[in-house]
Structure formats: structure tokens, C-alpha cells
Amino acid sequence: MTPTLDSPFAKIANHFEPRALEGEALKEFFVGDFFEPFMQALISAIHTSGSYQKLLLIGHRGCGKTTLLNKVAEELRTRYHLVYFSAGEVLNMMDVETVDILLATYGKVIESVTDESQEKKLLSRFKELIDHGKNKFQLDKKIDINAFFFRFTVESENRTTTREALWHRMDELQNSLSKACADVREETKKEVLIIIDNLDKLEDAMAQNVFLKGSRLLTLPRAKVLFTMPLPTFYNPGFIGVSDVDYQPVFIPLIALSDRDGNPRPDNLDEMEQVVLRRIDDKLVDKAALQAMILASGGLLRDLIKFMHMACTRAIVKGKMEGRESIIDRDIAALVIRDLVNQYTRVFDFPRYRGSITHIRNDKDKERVAHEDMSFFLNSLFALEYGHPDRIWYDLHPCLARALDKQ
């Protein structure tokens, strides 16, 4: 039998780990023809917006926002002092309030400083701020930013008491963050740009509290900030009331594999194919199998990458069982697609929503779908939005459509 580690798929599977591209992988594997105009729109929005503008990056989960941000960040670093971090690094994503985001941003601005004396001065102010109130984060003479946020993330009691103290000192928190940005700007001679990724992963009610109810607080710091925001929050009617005043949104669409009438989009299909073939020799994957997985992804990069990762694993097992090298063929593609179809079958409430999803599938719109239900479908990737920036339309995720056909 062929040892597992001798299979070429053992290494190739690492190329399809379901994570954003960064570093060398970004240089080697990024395919950006479809995203190029949207990346340039984002860069232009950042460059032309006011010094203290708050921008939002919005799109489906799994559409490639973090990879796109990593790519855009390469260009932005030359012009800005970039403070770029994931909310998940410093926040408990199951329990986030606006004050947490401001505090995390303050800490990350300090962490971005390379001048030792400047960092010491900023740390002193940070310590003075968090030492107020009866909380267990008080330290004697020095503070470790990473240790502080680790405890802030995992210790709910301390997180609560710190919030309570800071809510009573909100002006001081805002001013301290703004002053830190001003000090960094003075030191580096560059405008400060803060990018906070993965806030789009917040649960819907929490995101509404942060971006809608907390919009005034979130937009007060005197710095240019780009947040990622969940798609359902973009669909919330309350967003209209704050968007023009507080935010400048930039939307990243899905890669539409066909038009509204079902006609294939060869350019986009080719791009999805290149996403895969940058990471694997085309001799190791049957073309028809690859096309089947592309179509089953619905244009979601995350799902295509997940299909390929599972396909590599199945190819390793098949080769081991048969005692010879195998390729990713149509049988393997059918199995990995079936896995996601089965997942949709398990979790979707067909009796409750059958009428709504049938309408979306047939009419490509949401005219007969309750707004709350549509937000739920989009958030759960049951339904997908296409067409931006032109006339938008909707369809079911292809794997949910297959699950529906089996009912």
C-alpha cells in the first residue's frame, strides 16, 4: 500500500486549508481578476475619505474578505501607519460590546509603535485608564498588552468590571485613543489607518448593538477606521439611519457563476478554476470533477477550498486502499459535495421555509420572503446575493437546492 505521507495530496491538502491567504501563500496563490475593481474601489474609498472617516467592508461570509484585506494592506502600508488586526485576537467573539472594540483598538495602536520611549509613554496612559474601577487587571508598575487582552477575553467577571469602569470614563477612553493616534501620526509622519477584521462574524443581535445602537461611540475616535460588518446588519432597516452619517460602506460581491437567467459566466468560472489550479497540478484533478465542485460552491471561495481540502483527503485514502496513486475524480467530487448537501439537509427547516426558498429559487428575488427570514437565509448561507453593483438578485446555495430536491 502507498504510505499516506508519500501521496502528493498530503502536501497539496495544506494548500487548501480553509484559511485566508497571507504572506508567501498570498503571493503564490492569489487570483484577483474578479476582485481587482472592488479592491481598487476600497483603496480609493480609503484614500479619498476624510481623516476620521469610518468605513465598512461588507460581503457574504466565505467570499474572501480577509484575503482581500491582506492583499490591500500590502499597498496601504507605504502610505499609512497601518494598525491591522483581527477582532478574534483580542475579544471574546461571543460577548462583544462597543467599548470592547474601542479598548482593543487602543491597545493595538500602542502595540504598533516601534519607538520604545513612545510605547512606554502610551502604555503609561493605557495603564492609568484601566486602573480605574475595582477590577482585577490592576498591575503594579508595568502592563503586558497581550496578557491583558488574554485575560479580558477569557475572564468574564473581569471583562464585566472593566466595561463598567470604562463606561463611566468613555470620554477619557475616546480621547486617549484619539491622542494615541495623533502621537503615532506625529512620530511616523503618516496618517493612521486602523483595519479591524472579523467583526463580520458577530452574531446578528450583537452586531446590531455595535454598529447601529453603538454607532455614535464607534465613530467618535479621531482616526480613519475600516471595520468588517456582517451582511445581515447591512440588510437591517436601521442601517439606513446611520449609514449616511456615520459610515461609508464598501461591498464585496460573490463571484457569480451564471447570470440571473442561468447563462454561464465563463470568465468567472475560469477564475474559480484558477483559484484551484494555482495550488494543485491539473493532472491530479479531473476537469469535470473540478467543474462540479466549482458549480456546487455557488461562487463562495470558502466552500470551493473546503471541497478541495476534503477531496485531497479522500484521494489519499483512495490511493492507500487501492495501493496506487489516485486523482481527484468525479466520484470523489460527488462525495465531498454530498457531504455539504447532507449538512444542509440536517440543519434546514424545510417544512417552515419551503415556500420562501422555492420562491427565491424560481424568481431570483425576495419579494415574497419575510425580511427577517431573508436576513437569516443570507447569514446562514442558505441564500446568496449576486449582481452587485448592478441589479442584485438571489439564489439558493446550490447544495441547499440539491437538498430541497431530495425532500
CA distance readout (Å), 349 to 13, 44, 60, 358, 373: 33, 42, 21, 13, 12
- Gap between the Cα atoms of 363 and 260, Å rounded: 9
Whole-number pLDDT of residue 192: 96
Tell how strand 393-396 and strand 224-229 pair up.
Answer: unpaired
pLDDT grade, residue 9 (50/70/90)?
Answer: very high
What percent of the chain stands above pLDDT 90? 77
The listed CATH number (3.40.50, 3.30.420, 1.20.1250, 1.10.8) that belongs to domain 4-18+256-347: 1.10.8
- pLDDT per position as a tens digit, 285-310: 999 999 999 999 999 999 999 999 99
Would you mind telling me the total number of residues written for the chain in this entry? 407
Tell how strand 383-386 and strand 80-86 pair up.
Answer: unpaired
| 389 preceded by a cis bond (ω within 30 of 0) | yes
- Quote the cell numbers at residue 9: 495530496
pLDDT grade, residue 140 (50/70/90)?
Answer: very low
- Quote the cell numbers at residue 30: 492569489
Residue ranges covered by each domain of the chain: 4-18+256-347, 35-251, 350-405
Whole-number pLDDT of residue 132: 66
Whole-number pLDDT of residue 158: 85
Average pLDDT over residues 267-274: 97
Whole-number pLDDT of residue 51: 87
Any idea which of 47-61, 74-88, 137-151 has the lowest mean pLDDT? Answer: 137-151
Are 248 and 45 contacting, i.e. CB atoms less than 8 angstroms apart?
yes
Locate cell 438578485: which residue?
Answer: 393
Any idea which of 22-31, 46-55, 153-162 has the lowest mean pLDDT? Answer: 153-162
- Does CATH place domain 35-251 in 3.30.980? no
- pLDDT per position as a tens digit, 191-230: 999 999 999 999 999 999 999 998 889 998 999 999 999 9
Collect all residues with Cβ–Cβ distance below 8 Å to 31 and sequence separation of at least 6.
271, 274, 275, 278
Task: Select from 17, 30, 113, 16 the least CA-distant residue to 72.
Answer: 30
CB atoms within 10 A of CB 282: 11
- Rounded to the nearest integer, the mean pLDDT of the chain is 92
CA distance readout (Å), 404 to 294, 345, 350: 19, 8, 8
pTM here is 0.91
pLDDT grade, residue 241 (50/70/90)?
Answer: confident
Positive or negative torsion for Cα 397, 64, 366, 294 = negative
